[in-house]
Amino acid sequence: MPRERVGQSSGITRLDVRIPSANSTANDFDLGDNDNRMSVDRRPEICSLGVCSRCRGAAGIHRCPLSVFLEYYCAYFVNTHARARRNMTKHYLIVGGTSGVGAAVLKRLVRQKHAVHQLSRNPEYVSETSLVSSERWDLLEDAFPTQGLPEKLSGLIYCPGSIRLKPINRLREKEFREDFEINLIGAVKAVQGCLSRLQRADQASIILFSTVAVQTGMAYHASIASAKGAVEGLTRSLAAELAPRIRVNAVAPSIVDTPLAERLLNSEEKQKLAADRHPLKRIGSAEDVAASVDWLLHDPWITGQVIAVDGGISSIRLF
C-alpha cells in the first residue's frame, strides 16, 4: 500500500506515488523514496477517481497518481483474467444440440465457458452467442460439413437417435437401414470428419449413444437395438484405435423425458408405467444423461466403456 506521511496541516496527508510511464509494468508500482516519485498533498476525501486540484499533468489533464494506479491495476487484472480464461476454454462439437440430451449437454458446456459448435437439421433453434455457433447438417442427405469447424476440438458428442418399436414381422428392410444410417453411419461420418481436429488436441474425447435395450433384451426393439449394438462395437473399436490421445465412450440410457420419447410418455398413465419399471421409480431426464456425458468428457482415465444411465433397469430386479 502507498506510504502516507502526516503533513503539518490538519486533515492533510502526503501520498508518495511513482508516476507510471506508458511502458510501465505491474512491477513499476513499488513504493519508496526514489527521485522519480512525486509527493502529492491531498485531503483523504478527494483525489480518488475524482478531480484532484493539486495534481494535474501536461495541458491541464487530470493525472492523479492514485487514479492512474487504480486504472492500470484494473486493466491489468481484467486482461490477465481474460487471457487465462481463453487458455482454459475448449472447443466441442455437438451433433444434435437443439433439443433433449444434446441441448442439455450444450448448456452445461457453455456454463463452463467452453465454445460449442452445433450441427443439426434446424440450427435456428439454438441461439448463437460468443461461445455457441450453429450450422445445418442433415445426416441422411448431406456430406459432413467441415468448413465451419474450429481447427482443434477437445470433444465430439454425437446425439442423434431413433426409437422405432415394432414387432419383427412389421419391420421393413428400409426401416432397419434408416436406423443404421441415423445411429451408426451418421456417427461414423462425424468421427471421420472431425478426426484430424480431435488429434490436434492434447487430450480429446468422443461420446456416442447406445441404449439399455442392447444389453437387456426388450420386445419390439429389434431395429434400434441392432443399430445401437453396432454403435457399442464402434465405441470399443475406436477406443482401441485412437488411444491414448482420444478417449471413446458411449452412454446407454433407458427412456428419457425428451421430445424423441414424447409419444411414449404423452399421458400420465404412460409416464407412471414407465417410471414403475425402473428400480428408482422415475423416468430419466435430459440433465441426468448430460451429467454423465460431462463426466466422461473430462475424466482422463476412462475409455472403451458403455455407461448405463438407466435408473437401474439393466442390472437390478426388485421382487
3-state SS, one letter per residue, for 142-198:
CCCCCCCCCCCCCEEEECCCCCCCCCHHHCCHHHHHHHHHHHHHHHHHHHHHHHHHH
Q: Which of 85, 114, 136 is the last residue in one of the domains?
A: 85
Q: How many domains does the chain have?
A: 2
Q: Is residue 315 part of a domain?
A: no
255 and 294, same domain (yes or no): yes
What is the bridge-based pairing of β-strands 246-253 and 204-209? parallel
| High-pLDDT (> 70) share of the chain, % | 73
Is residue 131 classed exposed, middle or buried when 0-12, 13-18 and 19+ CB atoms within 10 A define those classes?
middle
More confident residue, 128 or 32: 128
26 and 49, same domain (yes or no): yes
Q: Judge whether 231 and 225 are in contact, CB under 8 Å.
A: no
pLDDT at residue 3 above 70?
Answer: no
Reported as a single tens digit per residue, the pLDDT across 75-105 is 665 565 444 444 478 999 999 999 999 999 9
pLDDT band at 66 (very low <50, low <70, confident <90, very high): low
More confident residue, 260 or 61: 260
Q: Which of 53, 85, 117 is the last residue in one of the domains?
A: 85
- Domain hosting 41: range is 4-85
pLDDT at residue 219 above 50?
Answer: yes
What is the bridge-based pairing of β-strands 155-158 and 91-95? parallel
Q: Is residue 46 part of a domain?
A: yes
Kindly write down the DSSP assignment for every residue of the chain, as one continuous string: ---EEE-SSTT-EEEEEEPP-TT--GGGG--S--TTEEEEEE-TTSSSSS--TT-B-GGG-B--HHHHHHHHHHHHHHHHHHHHHHHH--EEEEES-SSHHHHHHHHHHHHTT-EEEEEES-GGGS---SSEEEEE--TTTSPPP-TTS-S--SEEEE---------GGG--HHHHHHHHIIIIIHHHHHHHHHHHHHHTSSSEEEEEE--HHHHS--TT-HHHHHHHHHHHHHHHHHHHHHTTTEEEEEEEE--BSSGGGGGGSSSHHHHHHHHHTSTT-S-B-HHHHHHHHHHHHH-TT--S-EEEESTTTTT----
216 and 164, same domain (yes or no): yes
pLDDT at residue 23 above 90?
Answer: no
118 and 221, same domain (yes or no): yes
pLDDT at residue 27 above 80?
Answer: no
- What does pTM read for this prediction? 0.74
pLDDT at residue 288 above 70?
Answer: yes
198 and 218, same domain (yes or no): yes
226 and 130, same domain (yes or no): yes
Q: Which of 22, 57, 85 is the last residue in one of the domains?
A: 85
pLDDT at 166: 96
Where residue 304 sits, what CATH number does that domain have? 3.40.50.720
pLDDT at 192: 98
In the β-sheet with 13-18, what is the strand arrangement from edge to edge?
4-6, 13-18, 37-42
